[in-house]
Amino acid sequence: MPAPPAAPTMPGMRHERDIEEVPVLIVGAGPAGLTAAVTLARYGVESLVVERRPDLSALPRATTLSTRTMELLRSWGLEDEVRAGGAEVEMRVWQSETLARVSEGTALPGGFPTREHSALVSPTAAACVPQDWLEPVLLRHLRSLGVARVEFGMELAEPVTGPDGVRAVIRDVTTGERRVVRARYLIAADGAHSRVRKALGIRMRGRPDLEDAVAVLFRAPLWQVVGEHRYVLYSVTRPDDMGLFLPAGPGDRWLYGLLLEDGTGRPADFTEEVVTRRILDGAGVGDLRPRIERIGAFSFVAQVAETFRSGSGFLVGDAAHRATPRGGTGLNTAIHDGHDLGWKLAWVLRRWSGAELLDSYEAERRPVAEHNVGWSADPNASRRPPEDPLAVDLGGRIRHVWLPTERVSTLDLIGQGLTRFAGPDAAETAHPTAGSVPVTERRLDAITARALGIPAGGALLVRPDGAPTALVPSVTRTAARLRQAA
């Protein structure tokens, strides 16, 4: 990979003694924060990531990566490394009375496309990978780029934001030592109970208490029980023991979950003895001997922040929206937030675009967040056909088409600035720029160009996220549209 371009200087900021300056300060080293930092680093833009925890989480948390998430990871060269930490399964729900009676069960839609469907719409496919495998992969990649700094055991206190920047106090959780950081922009990626969001005075709206649930992390040889019926989620319907089993990585690592409906009990009632019995009953194997590693209780919440921005501060991921686990949208929405805000901040900081580009972050991400949060509140969200979730997930990006001469997708050709896709009869652009935004020229064969909807002699301008920004129908209008596209 070529070295990233040099980081831009900070516009409009003066140097002060004992004050550290950085273009972007990111609070939280979860998927949203790490994705934002990686995106910025690949543009050569420096960031400081601070995380209150001493290390990354060792819990699987979310376990599904969507089609668009895997496309993004593929574009960074991380697809194989990410898949190595997952389980090879069909992205559907399997319903049966117990796992031992899986052959008598039925496959249900899980909101994700099948392998066959994925092959038609993408160069990759959704994956069953736990969050505690994904995060270290992102962190290693971020550090390999040599642009960002990540500091664990550090928390943000006293952030003051305005239209021209952020002044924040960073505190060492262990020693209490403090230092001042001045940043042009602040990204709050510190999760569902975001301290930064509260400091910015942003409230959440929605349902904070839909349902209570219990999740159990355990190890047991369940793949031997289900055999060839390998799925992303198993719903067992045995009376009095209904629950869900989810693979949580390769090997025999699993999650068991159940909702605490009326009469089910309180979270404190689910001791190791109780959850062991439920796992045995749900599996239908009396001598299974599961090894319980953790029992946790949590609430199903469906909320969206009243705004995703305050001055130079932005919310991403769970700090901006909280979805229930249903439908598997929470983690993926967070990653897409981080990427979207990351490339837009990079364009502004590299002076490829004016600051008004940042207004499009909330304008484009809020409808997606509201859709996914609302969807997750539906008790049947995990059993919906994939068409609607897939359309939302792909976000209007251009079509995936394999080039005829090599195993390269049209999605693989998208650059960091604008990408100009043109057929064989389109005129060349001598010095491709759109204002100050660099334009990557991609010449396509006639069939691929037509598959992307490009007319004869025309061109298609595409953003870094794959979204088309201008269709130029004829050669004579290309230069004018390039100047306006940014």
CATH number at residue 310: 3.50.50.60
Are 347 and 416 in a shared domain? no
Phi, psi for residue 329 in degrees, rounded to 5: -95, -20
Are 334 and 381 in a shared domain? yes
Cβ contact 60:217 at 8 Å: yes
Are 254 and 280 in a shared domain? yes
Cβ contact 143:136 at 8 Å: no
Ordered mean pLDDT values, 10 residues apiece, the chain (486 residues): 45 55 98 98 98 96 97 98 97 96 94 92 98 98 98 92 90 96 97 95 94 95 97 92 92 94 77 95 94 95 97 97 95 98 98 96 98 92 84 96 94 97 83 75 96 94 96 59 50
Are 141 and 245 in a shared domain? no
Apex 327 CA angle, 284 and 128, nearest 5: 65
Residues 6+ apart with CB under 8 A from 206: 301, 302, 303, 304, 322, 373
Are 312 and 390 in a shared domain? yes
Cβ contact 64:372 at 8 Å: no
* Distance of alpha carbon 404 from alpha carbon 238, whole angstroms: 51
In this prediction, residue 404 carries a pLDDT of 94
pTM, rounded to two decimals = 0.92
Please say which residue of 301, 326, 352 terminates a domain: 301
Read off the amino acid at residue 115. Answer: R
Read off the amino acid at residue 212. Answer: D
In this prediction, residue 301 carries a pLDDT of 96
In this prediction, residue 282 carries a pLDDT of 96
Report DSSP letters for 429-442, one per residue.
-SS-EETTEEEEEE
Tell me which H or E stretch contains 372. helix 359-376
* Distance of alpha carbon 279 from alpha carbon 255, whole angstroms: 10
* Distance of alpha carbon 205 from alpha carbon 407, whole angstroms: 46
Are 213 and 308 in a shared domain? no
- For 212, which DSSP code? E
Are 50 and 168 in a shared domain? yes
* Distance of alpha carbon 260 from alpha carbon 253, whole angstroms: 23
In total, how many domains does the chain have? 3
Are 339 and 466 in a shared domain? no
Are 316 and 296 in a shared domain? no
> Tokens at residue 467, please?
């979204």
> Residue 422 belongs to what domain range?
410-484
Distances (CA, A) of 149 to 10, 194, 423: 17, 21, 42
Candidates 465, 471, 485, 477; CA nearest to 429 is 477
Read off the amino acid at residue 3. Answer: A
Phi, psi for residue 88 in degrees, rounded to 5: -80, 105
Are 120 and 216 in a shared domain? yes
Cβ contact 56:139 at 8 Å: yes
Are 200 and 138 in a shared domain? yes
Kindly tell me the burial class for residue 172, based on how many C-beta atoms sit within 10 Å of its own C-beta (0-12, 13-18, 19 or more).
Answer: middle
Whether 278 is covered by a domain: the verdict is yes
